[in-house]
């Protein structure tokens, strides 16, 4: 967490003209829990 993967991913998606999917955002939306909470519970 906090390593800049999403930032680099967004930049690459623009360069490659490919869709970008932020898995943290998707997981939070589907589970209703934040990523830090998921790590805490697991």
Q: Half-sphere exposure (CA, 13 Å, Cβ side) for 24? A: 13
pLDDT confidence of residue 5: 86
Q: What pLDDT, on the 0 to 100 scale, is given for residue 22? A: 93
Predicted TM-score (pTM) of this structure: 0.70
- Please report, for the chain, the start and end positions of each structural domain, with discontinuous segments joined by +: 5-41
28 within 8 A of 34, measured Cβ to Cβ: yes
pLDDT tens, position by position, 13-41 = 999 999 999 999 999 999 999 999 999 99
């Amino acid at each position: 967490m906090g390593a800049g993967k999403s930032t680099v991913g967004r930049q690459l998606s623009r360069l490659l003209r490919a869709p970008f999917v932020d898995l943290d955002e998707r997981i939070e939306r589907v589970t209703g829990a934040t990523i830090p909470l998921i790590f805490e519970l697991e």
